[in-house]
Amino acid sequence: MNKIIIKENKKKVMNLLTLGIIMSLLSIYVLVNGLIETKIFYTIIGVVGTIFFCGSFIFMVKSSLTHKPPLIIGEDGITDMSTAFSVGFIHWEEIQSVYAKKICYERFIGITVNDINILTKRVSFLKKVGIKINLFLNYPPVTINLSTADVEFNEVLELVRNRLEEYRGYSI
């Protein structure tokens, strides 16, 4: 069994980078406007937006320059590198279920694990926070974003499910 590497579509990445620049600039504009006009609401929105969108933009630029694939489906498990909160490698033994999850009009591959404590012990503080936020919002602890993938969502979902079935030796 060879590994399957899901790569990024350059056009989708460029569209997302363009959107990131626009949202970052708009957030900075709202922040500056809030500071000039001393409107606390605009200032707070501007700070939150600037941190979120500039942080996301920096992550997207870094990801596109390093050419890391968003997902690798391997013999022993999957390696998720699709977002800043991605947990990295997850062994097939750790995975309880794999399913499609829609969050704010965007589809993700949701993964629940057998023991959340094992997963959180090996990830950074920031990623632990991301997992806890997902659980608080009643989302799966691991969400794989394929918005820039060069393969269709349903095809990737099926590939992950099939590999999990092969590993377990039966159908899910």
pLDDT digits (tens, 9 = 90+) for 107-157: 999 999 999 999 999 999 989 998 999 999 999 999 999 988 899 999 999
| 87, 109 Cβ separation under 8 angstroms | no
Residues 23 and 53 in one domain: yes
pLDDT band, residue 28 (cuts 50/70/90): very high
Same domain for 57 and 84, yes or no, is: no
Domain boundary among 66, 82, 103: 66
Q: Are residues 81 and 158 in the same domain?
A: yes
Evaluate if residue 66 carries a pLDDT over 80.
no
Where in the sequence is the domain holding 147, given as residue range(s)? 71-168
pLDDT at residue 1 in the model:
63
Instruction: Indicate the number of domains in the chain.
Output: 2
Of the three residues 66, 91, 119, the one that is the final residue of a domain is: 66
115 and 62 part of one domain? no
Contacts (Cβ under 8 Å, ≥6 apart) of 28 = 46, 50, 54
Q: Is residue 172 pLDDT above 70, yes or no?
A: no
Same domain, 99 and 33: no
